[in-house]
Amino acid sequence: MKSIKFLLTFLFVHISILFSFAAETDDIFFRSGKIYIVIGVIVIIFIGIILFLISLERKVKRLENQININE
């Protein structure tokens, strides 16, 4: 129980530090106009992850069909 409390406290402290840092860096990105580049990179990464998951699902479905046919 103590370890869970310690872990939660540790996480909350670090998350609050990250959010305070993120607020400062957001302002820098907005002023320099680079926020659009950051958003674009994030969108590209998410699209890549989604496409990977779709292809993985198709492969799993194909393998499941082969297993069902063999049984």
What integer pLDDT is reported at residue 53 of this predicted model? Answer: 92
Report in angstroms the alpha-carbon separations of 51 from 47, 48, 70.
6, 5, 29
CB contact set of 67 (below 8 Å; sequence gap of 6+): none
Lowest mean pLDDT among 18-22, 36-40, 51-55, 63-67: 18-22
What does the pLDDT look like over 29-53, one tens digit per residue?
Answer: 777 877 788 888 999 999 999 999 9
% of the chain with per-residue pLDDT over 70: 72
